[in-house]
């Protein structure tokens, strides 16, 4: 019996099998806890994804009160946005350093899917750019519902138009419909999903992503590194133009083709498992 099925070992058009990729060809520098002042402003100027998130969080986090849990906190880049009326705690997976290059002394690291947090002990959960790296997003949201007090809020962000990053630990891209479905299943109400940026923002963001490796070469030999740096001098005006247009586009209304989404939801009076019992 014959099977008219292509041989998966023979790539079409000489393209690489992406499942064999183990890392990125180029990666932007990770956030650091020490990033302050000019360095932070420069990062947000040219990283439109980071700026779009900061813009939304700077509008929300200063208003938060009570016990705060930053899930997948990384370098804790948004901790400074909380007021003194918020009691901050950051948690992250034990593999955070190996997978994402983050290690902060006052972060609680844990193994497995269960967070080291008492049930119903948190008023507000922040979870930025984490869901796409979670093999089981339903479990993450279930844990969020367990840890939140009734009426507590969660604020999520995740990318939509973004490269495959932190390979191979990048699993998902979520639409507004995805958030509505997953959060409802986990026992959240008052779900609101806001687009960060529009098609113009995405265009500038992607073009900047093509230009930045010229300014910040990685893994090249000595000669190629200096050739890239020489070329970067010519590209400086173009880079600033793209950043300027991209920043302006973030002032507009979000579009269907956006950088990512900011999501806010409230923990219902009873989560699904509590209602079932």
Residue 12 inside a domain? The answer is no
Residue 234 has a pLDDT of 80
What is the chain's pLDDT, residue by residue, as a tens digit (277 residues)? 555 556 656 666 778 888 888 887 777 766 665 556 677 788 889 999 999 999 999 999 999 999 999 999 999 999 999 999 999 999 999 999 999 988 999 999 999 999 999 999 999 999 999 999 999 999 999 999 999 999 999 999 999 998 899 999 999 999 999 999 999 999 999 999 999 999 999 999 999 988 887 777 666 666 666 776 777 788 889 899 999 999 999 998 899 999 999 999 999 986 565 555 4
Q: How far apart are CA 48 and CA 260, in angstroms?
A: 11
User: Does one domain contain both 191 and 215?
Assistant: no
Task: Mark whether 47 and 172 lie in a shared domain.
Answer: yes
Question: Helices 222-249 and 37-46 sit at what angle, rounded to 10 degrees?
Answer: 80
pLDDT at position 218: 66
Tell whether 87 is covered by a domain.
yes
For 68, counting Cβ atoms within 10 Å of its Cβ (0-12 exposed, 13-18 middle, 19+ buried), the class is buried
**Which pLDDT belongs to residue 22?**
83
Q: Are residues 53 and 160 in the same domain?
A: yes
Residues 85 and 104 in one domain: yes
Is there a single domain that holds both residue 233 and residue 213?
A: yes
Structural domains in the chain (count): 2
| Nearest CA among 67, 61, 112, 111 for reference residue 90 | 67
Let me know whether 190 and 204 are in one domain: no
Q: State the residue range of the domain holding 118.
A: 32-198+254-270
Q: CB within 8 A of 139, min separation 6: which ones? A: 113
Q: How many CB atoms lie within 10 A of CB 157?
A: 23
**Are 105 and 169 in the same domain?**
yes
Task: State residue 18's pLDDT score.
Answer: 86
- Is 125 contained in some domain? yes
Which among 206, 134, 201, 202 is positioned nearest to 173, based on CA atoms? 134
Before 138, cis peptide (omega within 30)? no
Q: Residue 32 half-sphere exposure, CB side, CA atoms within 13 Å?
A: 9
The confidence score (pLDDT) of residue 227 equals 75
Per-residue pLDDT at 36: 63
> Is residue 263 within 8 Å of residue 191, measured between CB atoms?
yes
Dihedral, CA atoms, 7, 12, 14, 16, nearest 10 degrees?
-80
What pLDDT, on the 0 to 100 scale, is given for residue 223?
A: 67
> Are 141 and 93 within one domain?
yes
Residue 15 within any structural domain of the chain: no
What does the pLDDT read at residue 33? 59
Judgement on whether residues 140 and 213 belong to the same structural domain of the protein: no
Cis peptide leading into residue 161 (ω within 30°): no
**How does DSSP classify residue 23?**
S
Same domain (yes/no): 151, 240: no
């Amino acid at each position: 019996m014959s099977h008219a099925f292509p041989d998966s070992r023979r790539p079409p058009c000489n393209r690489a099998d992406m499942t064999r990729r183990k890392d990125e060809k180029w990666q932007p520098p990770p956030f650091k806890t020490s990033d302050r002042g000019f360095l932070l402003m420069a990062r947000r100027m040219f990283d439109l994804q980071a700026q779009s998130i900061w813009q939304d969080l700077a509008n929300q986090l200063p208003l938060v009160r009570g016990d705060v849990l930053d899930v997948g906190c990384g370098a804790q880049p948004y901790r400074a946005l909380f007021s003194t009326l918020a009691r901050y705690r950051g948690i992250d997976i034990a593999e955070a350093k190996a997978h994402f290059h983050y290690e902060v002394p006052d972060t609680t690291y844990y193994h497995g899917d269960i967070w080291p947090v008492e049930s119903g002990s948190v008023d507000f959960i922040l979870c930025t750019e984490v869901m796409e790296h979670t093999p089981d997003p339903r479990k993450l949201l279930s844990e969020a519902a367990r840890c939140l007090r009734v009426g507590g809020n969660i604020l999520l962000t995740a990318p939509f138009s973004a490269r495959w990053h932190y390979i191979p630990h990048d699993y998902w891209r979520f639409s507004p419909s995805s958030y509505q479905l997953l959060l409802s299943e986990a026992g959240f109400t008052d779900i609101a999903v806001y687009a960060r940026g529009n098609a113009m923002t995405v265009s500038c963001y992607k073009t900047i992503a093509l230009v930045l490796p010229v300014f910040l070469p990685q893994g090249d030999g000595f000669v190629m590194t200096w050739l890239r740096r020489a070329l970067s001098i010519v590209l400086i005006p173009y880079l600033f133009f793209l950043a300027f247009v991209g920043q302006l586009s973030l002032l507009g209304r979000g579009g269907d083709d956006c950088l990512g989404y900011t999501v806010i939801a409230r923990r219902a009076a009873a989560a699904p498992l509590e209602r079932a019992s």
